[in-house]
Amino acid sequence: MTASLDSRSPLTVRLVNFVLGITPLFAFAKKRARKMMIERAESMGVMWREQAAQLQARDWQMEFDAVNNPQLEYPEYYVKPFHAYNEGNLGWSPATEVELAAYAVHARIWSDSGVNGDPLLRQSFHDVLKQAVVDPPHDMVDLGCGVGMSTFALQDTFPGSQITGADLSPYFLAVAQYRTALRQAGKGNGLQLQVCEPNQQSAPTWVHAAAESTGLPAASYDLVSSCLVFHELPQAVSVQIIQEAKRLLRPGGYLAIMDMNPRSAVFLKMPPYILTLLKSTEPYLDEYFRLDLCEAIVTAGFESPKVVCNTPRHRTIVAQLPSV
């Protein structure tokens, strides 16, 4: 289950890891990566600093209390710096900036996509999913749902469905709770707010839990989805999440994973300085690139998965649980 799919130059990987092992250089790389994201977002008209400041200034206590599980013990792998935030995902700065970061990071997937890169990425995932799933799912789970971007997009893909989003960050889930109210009131789908028709779909259920141990009822869902999560995990946790997905699914249900494609030419040919910036914000990237996800899925008891390169950088994996 740990067969390597990492085709990057071993020398380049070792060099980058050596550089990041030097504390001052690691700190510089994180700061530089963050600066580049903010500048890219604002060059597209996404006012990162202004919008983040507005969100951080509001009182989040009501939303936080609604989703927080104070008894939850955070796994060790999660309480580490992520995405240039020393607090990782456990704070208001990452929670209020994650959507803005998504616009910046995904702007260059296609040469002319700009601010539309992120919704186009999610659409490309769901286009594959709709082709692979025979019957529209009624009950769905979004593992590692973050602030709900993937959850809302998935629910819009399958209207009328019931969806649960699970995440380890109560800060992210508080923002998801806030975004739910905006959608229901017709005030937009994200932090780039626009007037729209009030959303008539059932509000998602937000659960403060680890994706590998959700506590949700077994054999109760038709689709378990995870979008842009596995590259942020140690290998052992990735395997546990696949096993949890199997537990959650009804016979014949589907597991869908969309994430970086380790064999993409974009990553194989990535200049060392860019790889250094990327890895400074992604502590488990090497483990992800070495994991054979398809093998782990089959070993867990799923049928052979369908794999589609949905963008030049990403792949979608869809696997069905046997019906009997």
Enumerate domains of the chain plus CATH numbers.
Answer: 10-320 (3.40.50.150)
Residue 121 amino acid letter: L
Distance in angstroms (rounded) separating the CA atoms of residues 43 and 23 = 30
Token digits of residue 196: 């729209």
- For residue 140, give every residue at least 6 positions away whose Cβ sits within 8 Å of its Cβ, in sequence order, or none: 154, 155, 158, 161, 162, 163, 164, 221, 222, 223, 224, 225
Which among 285, 278, 232 is positioned nearest to 32, based on CA atoms?
278
- For residue 235, give every residue at least 6 positions away whose Cβ sits within 8 Å of its Cβ, in sequence order, or none: 1, 2, 287, 288, 290, 291
Distance in angstroms (rounded) separating the CA atoms of residues 295 and 292 = 5
Q: pTM score, two decimals?
A: 0.87
Beta bridge partners of 254: 223, 320
Q: What is the pLDDT of residue 1?
A: 46
Q: What is the pLDDT of residue 13?
A: 47
Token digits of residue 40: 């890219």
End-to-end C-alpha distance for the chain, whole angstroms:
25
Q: What is the pLDDT of residue 307?
A: 98
Beta strands in the chain (DSSP E): 139-143, 162-167, 205-208, 221-227, 249-260, 306-308, 314-320
Beta bridge partners of 224: 141, 255
Q: Within 10 Å of residue 311's Cβ, how many Cβ atoms?
A: 21
CA angle 165, 234, 110 (to 5 degrees): 70
b/e per residue, 43-61, with b = 16+ CB within 10 A?
Answer: ebebebeebbeebeeeebe
Give the pLDDT means over successive 10-residue stretches in the chain (324 positions): 49 44 47 74 81 93 98 96 86 94 86 88 97 95 98 94 98 97 76 52 95 99 98 97 99 98 84 62 87 98 98 97 91
Distance in angstroms (rounded) separating the CA atoms of residues 162 and 164 = 7
